[in-house]
Amino acid sequence: MFAVAGLMAALLPVQAMAQQAVPMTPELLQYSWVVSDFEGKQINSELPTFRMDDDNKIVIGQTQCGNDWNADTKVHFPHIEITNVQTGAFDCDAAPDVNRFLLALEKADRFQTSADGLELLDKDGKRIALMVAGG
């Protein structure tokens, strides 16, 4: 229990102190994640969530509008392919961001840890999304 709390604390952004990236292990995919920014922009609405199923074949979460989304995944850690992203109808002020977020997920190529949290990167190494533990 203390190890999980320590891992989660290490991945939550803390402005006042410098952090180090936690080791990159497949076990990181079993946590619930909150997406704090995507495509280099902080999210100013409800934060979307990201959680892999136990077999790492499906990812599920909630969008900025609070509705569920899911997608198929192929994981060859640290690489990931996200396809067939789906969600139900949604209508909220963040709707344009939801569309961009869901489209951005299909560009994912791999995971990487940093002092900021767990990053989802595209094939060129550009950060698509930054996630912190706790979703």
Q: Are 61 and 98 in contact (CB under 8 A)?
A: no
Count up the domains in the chain and report the number.
Answer: 1
For the CA atoms of 122, 124, 130, 132, the dihedral, rounded to the nearest 10 degrees, stands at 80
- Burial class from Cβ neighbours inside 10 Å (0-12, 13-18, 19+) for residue 44 reads exposed
Tokens of 57: 């074949």
Full residue range of the structural domain in which residue 80 is found: 2-133
Residue 9's CATH number = 2.40.128.270
* Helix-then-strand count for the chain, H and E: 2, 9
Predicted structure pTM score = 0.78
Per-residue pLDDT of the chain (135 residues; tens, 9 = 90+): 444 444 444 454 443 344 677 888 888 888 999 998 887 777 777 889 999 998 999 999 999 888 999 999 999 999 999 999 999 878 888 888 888 889 999 999 999 999 999 999 999 999 999 999 885
